[in-house]
Amino acid sequence: MSTKTDRDDFRSQSGYVFTLNGGAISWKSSKQDTIVDSTTEAEYIAASDAAMEAVWLKNFLSDLRVVVSISRPIDIFCDNSRAVAQAKEPREHHKSRHVLRKYNLIREIIGRGDVRICKIPTEENVADPLTKPLARVKHEAHAVSIGMQYLDTSS
């Protein structure tokens, strides 16, 4: 999960990718609907969107019987410590009170045990290519880590 703010319209670009058995099964890159005041808020909104997708994936994969059951929480990795803390906190803070209530659903999802939000170092965030340009080496490393492979075009 990752974000970057567009300087033209001040909306943050959110992105997430979910993998299963070494390959990407769901991903999204989109501008956020809400203009926010801080990176923490943008990351919190992105985490909330990712948490809702995780719940949907968990139910979908269980219904398909792709996996026997998904009893463990699905990990959501975020590179913003304050957004991680805000998602884990069961009450609102005065600084974040204006964030739309729909994004606070992440707290309920975490409380139910459907997802777990974890801090990840920025350089290990595989969703970064969905939100911002990266150096080629970094981009390729992230692409490989979500299961993308080069096709042999020599034949």
Q: Which CATH number belongs to the domain containing residue 46 in this structure? A: 3.30.420.10
Q: What is the pLDDT of residue 134?
A: 87
- Residue 82 domain boundaries: 2-145
Report the distance separating Cα 131 and Cα 113, nearest Å. Answer: 28
What pTM was estimated for this model as a whole?
Answer: 0.83
Give the count of domains, the chain.
1
Q: What is the pLDDT of residue 104?
A: 82
150 in a structural domain: no
Q: What is the pLDDT of residue 98?
A: 53
Q: What is the pLDDT of residue 56?
A: 96
Report the distance separating Cα 49 and Cα 58, nearest Å. Answer: 14
96 in a structural domain: yes
Segments in the chain below pLDDT 70: 1-7, 69, 90-102, 155
129 in a structural domain: yes
151 in a structural domain: no
Q: What is the pLDDT of residues 13-41, one digit of tens each?
A: 999 999 998 899 999 999 998 888 888 88
Q: What is the pLDDT of residue 92?
A: 62
Q: What is the pLDDT of residues 129-141, one digit of tens each?
A: 888 888 989 888 8
59 in a structural domain: yes
155 in a structural domain: no
137 in a structural domain: yes
Q: What is the pLDDT of residue 103?
A: 75
Q: What is the pLDDT of residue 48?
A: 93
40 in a structural domain: yes
